Amino acid sequence: MRIGFIGGTGPEGKGLAYRFALAGHEVVIGSRSRERAEAAAREVAERVPKATVRGLENAEAARDAEVVVLTVPFAAQAETLPALREAIGGKLVISTAVPLFFDGGRPAMSAVPEGSAAEQAQALLPSARMVGAFQNLGAAKLWEGDVPLEQDIIVCADAAEAKRQVMALAEEIRGVRAVDGGPLASSRYVEGITVLLVGINRKYKTLAGVRIVGV
Ligand SMILES: NC(=O)c1ccc[n+]([C@@H]2O[C@H](COP(=O)([O-])OP(=O)(O)OC[C@H]3O[C@@H](n4cnc5c(N)ncnc54)[C@H](OP(=O)(O)O)[C@@H]3O)[C@@H](O)[C@H]2O)c1
């Protein structure tokens, strides 16, 4: 599978690209700058020499990819996604964004009129098959090395087949179990967990993750 990352030069995009490259996928890092995309692609390729990793501008990456992962900050979605509408079309798109901001140093969640970052992305890319996933997976943990993550990924989508595909993709990352989180509208709760985790990480000086018990 060829997986493209919009804003893939940041820690989350590079981390997921690294893990998917380890799982045997071709990855395409997107950026506003081709040079930054190529530099990030080199960083991933150095860690996974057998993988095919390329760096392209966001629109080219979106066009080239079979599955598109959105890894721009939530605040950048509204200005970034409309220009990619045609390149993305009806593809499978994964929203990783969390509408997080710091309120006097404390992690907090922005009010999103659409309900969640994933639903805003769906509104901006109406033809895309939108799936919310990976919002609780910290970039530092992803980049740590080829170590099992031992975490659950909660996957939310309205299209059953798209959800199934992303759940299968997530489980290709070592130590990940995918959990069906329901419709895309439930992404707001998953995104909120990350705000909580950021606070927990600060308090316990750790990289906390999510495990759902009883399923
Ligand atoms: N970091 C984490 O641990 C973590 C965990 C869970 C979820 N997430 C989510 O994953 C996404 C990426 O996180 P991150 O920490 O990697 O973010 P980031 O480093 O702040 O941004 C990622 C990339 O987005 C591009 N970008 C930044 N501002 C932009 C703008 N105004 N317009 C267009 N592109 C812009 C930049 O790429 P170019 O300059 O190369 O274009 C940047 O390298 C976020 O939505 C975040 O909520 C992050």
The residue nearest atom 29 of ligand 1, judged by CA position, is: 76
Q: For the domain 2-204, what is the CATH code?
A: 3.40.50.720
Domain boundaries, the chain: 2-204
Torsion (CA) 119, 124, 130, 133 in degrees, nearest 10: -60
Distance CA(79)–CA(124), nearest Å, equals 10
Q: Up-side HSE of residue 170: CA atoms within 13 Å toward CB?
A: 29
Q: From the CA of 100, give the closest atom in ligand 1.
A: 47
Question: Residue 56's pLDDT is what?
Answer: 98
| Per-residue pLDDT band at 7 (split at 50, 70, 90) | very high
Contact of 153 with 170, CB cutoff 8 Å: yes
| Per-residue pLDDT band at 215 (split at 50, 70, 90) | very high
Q: From the CA of 142, give the closest atom in ligand 1.
A: 3
Question: pLDDT, tens digit, for every residue of 54-112?
Answer: 999 999 999 999 999 999 999 999 999 999 999 999 999 999 999 999 999 999 999 99
Question: pLDDT, tens digit, for every residue of 9-59?
Answer: 999 999 999 999 999 999 999 999 999 999 999 999 999 999 999 999 999
Mean predicted confidence (pLDDT) in 189-206? 97
- Residue 65 CA to ligand 1 center (angstroms) comes to 19
Question: Residue 143's pLDDT is what?
Answer: 96
DSSP 148: -
What share of the chain has pLDDT > 70, as a percent? 100
Q: From the CA of 37, give the closest atom in ligand 1.
A: 40
- Bridge-based pairing of strands 106-109 and 176-182 is unpaired
